[in-house]
Amino acid sequence: MTVREYIDHLKNSPAFMKNVTSWRVLPERAAKYGAFPEDLHPGVLAALQKKGIERPYIHQAKAIACALEGKDLVVVTPTASGKTLCYNVPVLDAILKDESARALYLFPTKALSSDQAAELYSMIESIDCPIKAYTYDGDTPASARSAIRQAGHVVVTNPDMLHQGILPHHAKWIKLFENLKYVVIDEIHAYRGVFGSNLANVIRRLKRICAFYGSDPVFICCSATIRNPKELAESMTGKEMVLVDENGAPAGERNVIFYNPPVVNAQLGIRAGSIPETRNIAASLLKAGVQSIVFARARLTVEVLVRYLKDMVRDPLGNAGQVRGYRGGYLPTQRREIERELRAGNVMTVVSTNALELGIDIGQLDACVLCGYPGTIASTWQQAGRAGRRGSVSLLIVVASSGPLDQYIIQHPEYFFEQSPECALINPDNLYILLNHVKCAAYELPFEEGELFAGLEDTPELLSYLEDQSILRRVSGRYYWMAEEFPQAGVNLRSASDQNFVIVDITDPKKHKVIGEMDRFTVPMLLHQYAIYMHEGRQFQVEQLDFDDKKAYVREVNVGYYTDADLTTSLKVLDEFESEGEGTSIVRARGEVLVSSIVTLFKKIRFDTHENLGWGPVTLPELEMQTTACWWTLPEELEGEFEKEPLKNAMVGLAHLIRHIAPMHLMCAPQDINVVYHVKDVYTGKPTIYLYDSVPGGVGLSDRVYEMDRELLLRARELLLSCKCVDGCPGCVGAAAGHGAKFTLIQILNRLLEPAGRN
């Protein structure tokens, strides 16, 4: 069945259509062309013609012209719009005109690096000139590294390798840094939060080393659609950017369907689960022979869906290769194999977290199913772009969960289609992150007295602090590195946690093998003793978790359930930076907090029915994190006006709403923030809700919420009023809020949002 035939089948299915809240057809879009610059090297033009490219799209033409004029730029167009040409053309032009010219390509993942390097190689092969382009990452053989340093015209790498393998050893890369003409940073929308804040500091270090060797490269950044691409690129590079955002690429017809699972209990407002509904839709696509990708928000959801779909297509020998999973934690070799199988058309359905959201070439998929709204408009379009990448008809089905944000989006499709995408936020000057990179910079090159790191006036204070800690030593007006350790090794760009845990399969006593990895903060939830760890639909029981050696030993089992753990979080205010409001208004404040979290028990959840089969205790050490938060304290008169139980239920509901609404406005992953509530808070002595950054030191997310809290409260009230339930349901106030929470919360929000009640 073709995707067009499948779309017609859905239209004629009453069972499906009764749950559709919106079906929009985005029409086919014709290409808009420009012209290549007249001074482009003939060798590049000949290579483009061999690839069948006679004219560039308008965004490609403008980007290439800007780059050749030496202007820093950021290109913002949808997935599969030919952004690669925007940087490959000027880079190859520069090398053909000057053999000594060099370029550095940065991609967020190894997979994307190798994918884009292949595209570059194919262009170079069309040019009769010995241009050397190499991928330099952790998989590069030691024997090849020396040749890359000396002869590589284009070095393709990732931020982690630049941070740990190139900048600290810049003396071995003199040819690169003396002649660096272009720095390409692709997929910059992926660099937000901790990762983006770290990368901005790595770029500061790169520019410092370039200045030392006398080069000043042009930065070419590329991004999927976000609201603030120019601001993000300028924060990332410290340079003024030209914005190129007029898309000239063609696009095929796209069908966008919003699907809301049916209500199964009208009194309680409970809907059918998004996982079973997604499974049914994915299964029908699989049966119809439509190649598709399913996106889920959590690793566990991915594995549960893979298990369901693999059981559908398993042959008598137990093989089910038509269905594959894809997520962080799989080993790189396994991920590359899955990508190859997708391109070859051997995989009909892949279930992934947002790990496949980036522009890795995975072939021509026809349909995309989202199990739950991804949290941002930008991510939704990015994931949708994985289907119909060759300009063909494509299908996107968004299956809503019962969360308040999902229910709002699914019932107000105009918000999704008419709003501009969200902002991406970074905070390079976060003290926790900045200090780490000042250490790395001092290791790479001594600081001159009076030198400012990226122009920051706090640099002398930071250097003096590091001198007091015996990490730097000042001699003749210079600060030299004197500590024994290698500072780059202690800085994880993608999180503020320690190194990952490895997962070891001990099913075969003669041959133990590593099958995956997991970050430290996720381990207590998914790898505690007796947990069922799922990997590509296979089940493993955790036999032992070695916290000291960072290893989890697992054994393959076949049981009819999976496990999920409960996390208990407590919070203590360390310092209050700022506060507003008093009397009858809500008091809002922001400051520094200490968050303690511990996993105390786990539940066994049966497949298919999702019923609870029992529980077990978890004994793991408590994790502590110092971070930033903002909080809201209700006025005393509200305490006197409402009884304790309704007030508590309203607080639970408000915390639930804020937890789901805030990521939409911040353009962060839902796990980047957390929300807790206290009916009688120790610090304020009153009902209080805290929102904190789930990152040591914080990255400014809670500060942003502090500035726009009225907007959040307005959105919370709008969600409550638009929900059709009577007394509150899982879709508005959450499953934990008790009877009457909705009515009480609307009254509280009306009071808090009165104009007189605000400063």
Give the 3-state secondary structure of 502-536.
EEEECCCCCCCEEEEEECCCCHHHHCCCCCEEEEC
Q: How far is CA 95 from the centre of its chain?
A: 34
Find residue 328's DSSP bridge partners: 330
Identify the residue with better confidence: 124 or 479.
Answer: 479
pLDDT of residue 499: 63
Closest residue by Cα to residue 42 from 126, 116, 108: 126
Average pLDDT over residues 421-446: 87
Q: How many CA atoms lie within 13 A of 590 on its CB side?
A: 18
Q: How far apart are CA 722 and CA 211, in angstroms?
A: 56
Task: Please determine, for residue 751, whether its predicted confidence score (pLDDT) is greater than 90.
Answer: no
- Element spanning 323, H or E: strand 323-326
Task: Please determine, for residue 668, whether its predicted confidence score (pLDDT) is greater than 70.
Answer: no
Task: Please determine, for residue 65, whether its predicted confidence score (pLDDT) is greater than 90.
Answer: yes
Q: How far apart are CA 259 and CA 282, in angstroms?
A: 13
pLDDT of residue 403: 81
The per-residue pLDDT for range 274-312, each reduced to its tens digit, is 999 999 999 999 999 999 999 998 888 999 999 999 988
Give me the chain's average pLDDT, please: 87
Q: Are 260 and 269 in contact (CB under 8 A)?
A: no
340-345: Cβ within 8 A, 24+ apart: 345/291
552's tokens: 């989890």
Average pLDDT over residues 627-637: 85
| Cβ-Cβ contacts under 8 Å for 261 (sequence gap 6 or more) | 19, 271, 272, 273, 274, 277, 399, 400, 402
pLDDT of residue 758: 44
Compute φ and ψ for 445, nearest 5 degrees: -145, 135
Find residue 387's DSSP bridge partners: 365
pLDDT of residue 497: 53
Task: Please determine, for residue 583, whether its predicted confidence score (pLDDT) is greater than 60.
Answer: no
724's tokens: 């059709």
Identify the residue with better confidence: 745 or 80.
Answer: 745
Task: Please determine, for residue 738, whether its predicted confidence score (pLDDT) is greater than 70.
Answer: no
Reduced to 3 states (helix: H, G, I; strand: E, B; else coil), residue 419 is: coil
Task: Please determine, for residue 495, whether its predicted confidence score (pLDDT) is greater than 70.
Answer: no
Q: How far apart are CA 471 and CA 452, in angstroms?
A: 18
Q: How far apart are CA 31 and CA 305, in angstroms?
A: 38
Q: How far apart are CA 621 and CA 223, in angstroms?
A: 40
**Which range in 575-579, 696-700, 744-748 is most confidently predicted, on average pLDDT?**
575-579
pLDDT tier at 529, thresholds 50, 70, 90: confident
Q: How far apart are CA 541 and CA 518, in angstroms?
A: 15
Q: How far apart are CA 103 and CA 271, in angstroms?
A: 53
5-11: Cβ within 8 A, 24+ apart: 5/288, 6/285, 6/288, 6/290, 6/367, 6/395, 7/255, 7/393, 7/395, 9/288, 10/257
Q: How far apart are CA 414 and CA 119, in angstroms?
A: 38
pLDDT of residue 756: 42
- Element spanning 565, H or E: strand 561-580
User: pLDDT over 90 for what percent of the chain?
Assistant: 43
pLDDT of residue 757: 42
| pTM: predicted TM-score of the whole model, two decimal places | 0.80
- Lowest mean pLDDT across 64-78, 272-286, 299-313, 662-676: 662-676
Q: Show the CA angle centred on residue 316, arms to residues 311 and 319, nearest 5°.
A: 60
- Lowest mean pLDDT across 29-38, 40-49, 83-92, 580-589: 580-589
pLDDT tier at 408, thresholds 50, 70, 90: confident
Task: Please determine, for residue 94, whether its predicted confidence score (pLDDT) is greater than 80.
Answer: yes
Q: Show the CA angle centred on residue 461, arms to residues 458 and 465, nearest 5°.
A: 140
61's tokens: 């033409």
Reduced to 3 states (helix: H, G, I; strand: E, B; else coil), residue 125 is: helix
- Lowest mean pLDDT across 176-180, 365-369, 747-751: 747-751
49's tokens: 């013609």
pLDDT of residue 585: 66
Q: How far apart are CA 66 and CA 62, in angstroms?
A: 6
3-state secondary structure 442-457: HHHCCEECCCCHHHCC
Q: How far apart are CA 379 and CA 377, in angstroms?
A: 6
pLDDT tier at 759, thresholds 50, 70, 90: very low
Task: Please determine, for residue 481, whether its predicted confidence score (pLDDT) is greater than 90.
Answer: yes
Closest residue by Cα to residue 204 from 219, 190, 226: 219
Average pLDDT over residues 482-511: 81
Amino acid, res. 683? Y
Largest CA distance in the chain: 82
Q: How far apart are CA 482 and CA 472, in angstroms?
A: 5
Compute φ and ψ for 577, nearest 5 degrees: -85, -35
pLDDT of residue 501: 87
pLDDT of residue 755: 59
Q: How far apart are CA 732 and CA 271, in angstroms?
A: 12
Task: Please determine, for residue 726, whether its predicted confidence score (pLDDT) is greater than 70.
Answer: yes
546's tokens: 């070695």
Average pLDDT over residues 731-752: 79
- Lowest mean pLDDT across 256-270, 501-515, 723-737: 723-737
The per-residue pLDDT for range 639-660, each reduced to its tens digit, is 677 777 888 888 888 888 888 8
Task: Please determine, for residue 152, whether its predicted confidence score (pLDDT) is greater than 80.
Answer: yes
